[in-house]
Amino acid sequence: MDARKILADLQKADIKSILKKAGGDVTKYLSAELTKVMRKTPKFATAPQIGKLYIASYSAKYALTLEYWDKTPLFMPISYSEKGNIIGINFHYLPPKVRQSLLVQLMKYASNKKLDDTTKLRLSYTMLTAASKLKVVQPTIHSYIPGRFKSKIVEIPANLWSTAMILPTQNFVGASAQTVYNDSMKTKGK
């Protein structure tokens, strides 16, 4: 089955059946499901691979001068700088529905349709910033210094990427999530 179709189907999922399963709290239910899977076989990364999805605890080097920053980035590396910093998409800078929409668009760059350990997105900074349909990605691109991660970097399995997009795992310092979303949606494509 086409990975984009799976993600699109999840977006259109029967909300009543999900609510019934979730006992009314979809976010709590999906978060619990993701946590169960991640606890069974957590996969840690010392050198995150380009095109895979990760989450970790992070401490920004310039925290005192940044307007705001995310302490738990949900990020997908797209390149490494000459200094070894990770340049990546932090999906948390977008509202959950926009995150999912962006992921659906990015799935056309998937290495395969399996949504397994071999799946990754073939992305580059140049490709992302040049693609007119992907202007929403611009405010999400951030640089991460590997030594500033305060926890192990956890790889999110490809079959859980869509679920990870809608979970409230962001932890912004200096602004509310809504403020960050508003700023990102205003600055996209500038």
Residue 124 has pLDDT above 80, yes or no: yes
Tens digits of residue pLDDT in 159-184: 889 989 988 889 999 999 999 999 99
What pLDDT sits at residue 7? 43
Range of the domain at 129: 3-187
What pLDDT sits at residue 32? 65
Tens digits of residue pLDDT in 127-165: 887 776 788 999 999 999 999 999 889 899 898 899 899
Q: For the range 95-101, what are the long-range contacts, defined as Cβ-Cβ under 8 Å and sequence gap of 24 or more?
A: 95/181, 95/185, 96/165, 96/166, 96/167, 96/168, 97/166, 98/136, 98/181, 98/185, 99/165, 99/166, 100/7, 100/10, 100/11, 100/162, 100/165, 100/166, 101/11, 101/136
Number of domains into which the chain is organized: 1
Q: Per the confidence metrics, is the pTM higher than 0.85?
A: no
Residue 28 has pLDDT above 80, yes or no: no
